[in-house]
Chains A and B, each alone.
Chain A
Amino acid sequence: MSDILELSAAQAAAAIAAGSLSASELFELYRSRAVADHEAGEDGLNCFTWVADGQPDAASAAAPLGGVPLAVKDLFCTKGVPSQSGSRILEGYLPPYTASAVARLDAAGTSLLAKTNQDEFAMGSSTENSAFGVVRNPWDRGRVPGGSSGGSAAAVAAGLAPWALGTDTGGSIRQPAALCGIVGLKPTYGAISRYGMIAFASSLDQAGPLTRDVRDAALMLRHMVGRDECDATSLEFPEEVALPTAERLDGVRLGVPEELSGEGIESGVLDAFHAALARAQQLGAEVSQVRLAHAPQALSAYYVLAPAEASSNLARFDGVRFGMRTVDPDHPSDLLEMYTRTRHDGFGAEVKRRIMLGTYALSSGYYDAYYGRAQRVRTKIAGDFAAAFAQVDLIVTPTAPTVAFALGEKTDDPLAMYLNDVCTVPMSLAGIPAISIPCGLSAGLPVGLQIAGPAFSENRLLAAAHALERAIAFDGSAARV
């Protein structure tokens, strides 16, 4: 039984194809573990908002992912299965269709195991903003798993799902992956269709894998990429996604941006980061410093752009077409009261904060000073990356400035919470791919190494991440429940 839990998703798919493992046995093993966590609520890790109640239809024998169970972040629409984006306003919402990313994985043979808990509308860095309770970090239950894809990250780290789908707007795959000691990939913007993802910030949102190892991330990516006519911003992936095998980094030029690798980063994180750089050099990489001169302004630009887009996207939650409705009992026929009360009762504090911030940034008289300027900073940041990639192949930074912090530590200080995203936001603004892999422990908690590359360089990125992963040989078994 426990041997099966040790298999990566790729290994499980291979074992099913070879006939040495039954898909239904694998599914039931994970399902029973997920059900136990779900039933425990906040006494468990609270990874899930929904768990499958039985066996799914058997996958076709020819399907490359052979029935491997998949956990999916709550904000992906899944037909007939609750899709609530962690929000009270969508409690019990059953979409009439399935998101393209999930549908493609389904077509490749995965079986929907569970929906995972998340920060409400993906707004958060700790998964403490969910209407369905906080998620705990399996390395230390008094700490956060990161966010917003905290349920997906904690589930994979704890062995409650073989792999999971998440989304990343400013770091929401990479940062929880780092804090939970697993692999998380944010692909190039446009690589995967956003159709059926409940939107947060449309120019930044991107789906991606949270997995135990780099090969699994490549495998999941392979089956999601490509143009989708339901998402006008999706693009054809220029090459096949390869399953990485690299063990060396000979000739690979790694750039370390001084703006994201010193000030504001915890010393234990820096120690693990420098140890990973030394490993990379042993594997043949050339490591040099690069400048991302506008990185210090990236977080400011992000916290204008993302709330601005969110305030617009979340206008659809008005008590008319889906979700909850609250009316003024004294004036039940007042439409404006219905809107404002529904949104008051349905949205949590962080979502309200960002809607207010975004509405302000877009309002007449302030638009140029906030939204307009932030868009220009975005141009500068993309230019910084383009200049850096003329000198180096890939950029490496710590994924997050700290290890997992205590539950409740930053909930009263939104700005302190936002600083978690300082190393991940620049890549999001530039739309480039970035992966986080575990690179060691600091005080017994995982540290993530972020590797970023130019648009559509996923194959090179995954190859380098694979070589480093092999050399670092991080052991995540302590997090399994």
Chain B
Amino acid sequence: MAQLARLALSEDEIEPMARELSAVLDHVAKIAELELDDVAPTSHVVEVTGALRPDLPRPSLPRELALAQAPAVSEDGFLVPSPQAQ
């Protein structure tokens, strides 16, 4: 699960994490007690219609501003370790 979440966990973090998550999941199991088969899911509470703005060209964030807070940059982009490297 940690790998899926892209989280490294040290050895001493694993046991408390497992214990605490189990306790929370036991509590959360309350929702399994309800009869919900005919109930529609709610992902959003408000009715939003026509949320799209007019599609007009306009300037975006300047490149140097977008790059200013990055931990590493090359000349004109974010610099990251190569996904191909092992």
Cβ B4 vs Cβ A338 within 8 A: no
For A327, the closest partner residue in chain B by CB is B81
Q: Are A333 and B48 in contact (CB under 8 A)?
A: no
Say whether B36 contacts A189, CB under 8 Å.
no
Q: Check if A373 sits within 8 Å of B46, measured CB to CB.
A: no
Q: How far apart sit A318 and B5, CA to CA, in the bound complex (Å)?
A: 11
User: Are the CB atoms of A333 and B21 closer together than 8 Å?
Assistant: no
Chain B residue with the shortest CB-CB distance to A345? B8
A203 within 8 A of B: yes
- Which one of A229, A360, A377 contacts B1 once the chains associate, using CB atoms below 8 Å? A360
- Do A352 and B45 have beta carbons less than 8 Å apart? no
* Residue on B nearest A455 in the bound complex, by CB: B46
Q: Complex Cα distance A98/B65, Å?
A: 14
* Pair count A-B, CB < 8 A: 174
Please name the residue on chain B nearest to A317 by beta carbon.
B6
Give the residues in chain B near A189, CB-CB below 8 Å: 45-46
- Contact partner of A376 (CB less than 8 A), chosen from B28, B36, B81, B86, is B36
Q: Closest residue to B29 on the A side, CB-wise? A: A300
Q: Which of B23, B25, B46, B81 contacts A335 (CB 8 A)?
A: B81
Chain A residues positioned under 8 Å from B78 (CB to CB): 320-321
Partner of A355, one of B7, B44, B65, B72: B7
Query: CB-CB contacts of A338-357 with B at 8 A, as 1s and 0s?
Result: 11110110010100110111
**A355 and B30 contact, CB distance less than 8 A:** no
| Residues of chain B contacted by A318 (CB below 8 angstroms) | 6
Contacts of B68 in A (CB 8 A): 94, 96
When the two chains form their complex, are residues A322 and B70 in contact, meaning their CB atoms are under 8 A apart? yes
Contact of B28 among A232, A303, A347 (CB under 8 A): A303
Determine the chain B residues whose CB is within 8 A of the CB of A229 once the complex forms: 53
> Which of A126-134, A215-223, A378-386, A399-407 is the contact stretch?
A378-386
Knowing A96-B66, A414-B23, the reply to whether A370 touches B28 (Cβ < 8 A) is yes
Minimum Cβ distance to chain B for residue A360 (Å): 6
Q: Is A369 an interface position by the 8 A CB rule?
A: yes
Q: How far, in angstroms, from A274 to B12 measured CA to CA in the complex?
A: 47
Hey, which chain A residues are within 8 Å of B8, CB to CB? 337, 340-341, 343-344
Q: Which of B2, B7, B51, B85 contacts A334 (CB 8 A)?
A: B85
Looking at the complex, which one of B3, B9, B25, B53 makes contact with A344 (CB distance below 8 Å)? B9
| Closest CB in chain A relative to B60 CB, distance in Å | 11
Chain B residues near A325: list those with CB within 8 A: 71-72
Chain A residues within an 8 Å CB radius of B24:
303, 353, 357, 414-415, 418
Among B44-78, those with CB < 8 Å from A are 44-46, 48, 51-53, 61, 65-66, 68-72, 78
Q: Is chain A's binding surface mostly helix, strand, loop or mixed? A: helix
Is there an interface contact between B80 and A377, defined as CB atoms closer than 8 Å?
A: no
Question: What 1/0 mask marks residues of chain B from 16 to 29 whose CB sits below 8 Å from any chain A CB?
Answer: 01001101110111
Residue A15 at the B interface, CB < 8 A? no
Measured between beta carbons, the chain A residues less than 8 angstroms from B41 are 372, 375-376, 378-379
A356, B44: Cβ atoms closer than 8 Å: no
Q: A327-B81, A335-B80, A338-B81 are in contact. Are A352 and B7 (CB under 8 A)?
A: yes
Question: Which positions 135-188 of chain A face chain B at CB distance < 8 Å?
Answer: 188
Asked if A320 contacts B80 (CB within 8 A), the reply is yes
- A377 and B31 in contact, given A353-B20, A363-B4, A414-B20 (Cβ under 8 angstroms): yes
Is A294 close to B, CB under 8 A? yes
Residue in B7, B17, B48, B70 whose Cβ sees the most chain A Cβ within 10 Å: B7
The CA-CA distance from A320 to B74 in the complex, in Å, is 12
Q: How far is the CA of A229 from the CA of B40 in the complex (A)?
A: 29
Pick from A311, A332, A344, A415: contact of B27, CB below 8 A: A415
Contact with B7, one of A95, A343, A374, A375 (Cβ below 8 angstroms): A343
Query: Which of A341, A356, A369, A431 lies in contact with B46, CB distance below 8 A?
Result: A431
Smallest beta-carbon distance A93→chain B, Å: 6
**A355 — which chain B residues lie within 8 A by C-beta?**
5, 7
**Given the contacts A96-B61, A301-B31, A360-B1, A376 and B48 also touching, CB distance less than 8 Å:** no
Contacts of A327 in B (CB 8 A): 81
Q: Are A190 and B46 in contact (CB under 8 A)?
A: yes
- Closest A-B pairs by Cβ, 6 of them: A431-B45, A375-B41, A325-B71, A340-B8, A232-B51, A344-B8
Contacts A/B (CB < 8 Å), 19 sampled: A96-B65, A96-B69, A190-B46, A190-B48, A233-B44, A303-B27, A334-B81, A338-B80, A340-B3, A341-B8, A343-B7, A344-B7, A352-B13, A360-B1, A370-B28, A375-B43, A376-B41, A378-B45, A418-B27
Known: A297-B33, A380-B36. 18 other contacts (CB 8 A): A97-B61, A188-B46, A189-B45, A189-B46, A297-B30, A297-B34, A324-B71, A337-B8, A340-B2, A343-B7, A356-B7, A359-B5, A360-B25, A363-B1, A370-B31, A373-B36, A378-B42, A455-B46
Interface residues of A (CB under 8 A from B): 93-97, 188-190, 203, 229, 232-233, 235, 294, 296-297, 299-301, 303-304, 311, 315, 318-325, 327, 332-341, 343-344, 347, 349, 352-353, 355-357, 359-360, 363, 369-370, 372-380, 382, 414-415, 418, 429-431, 455
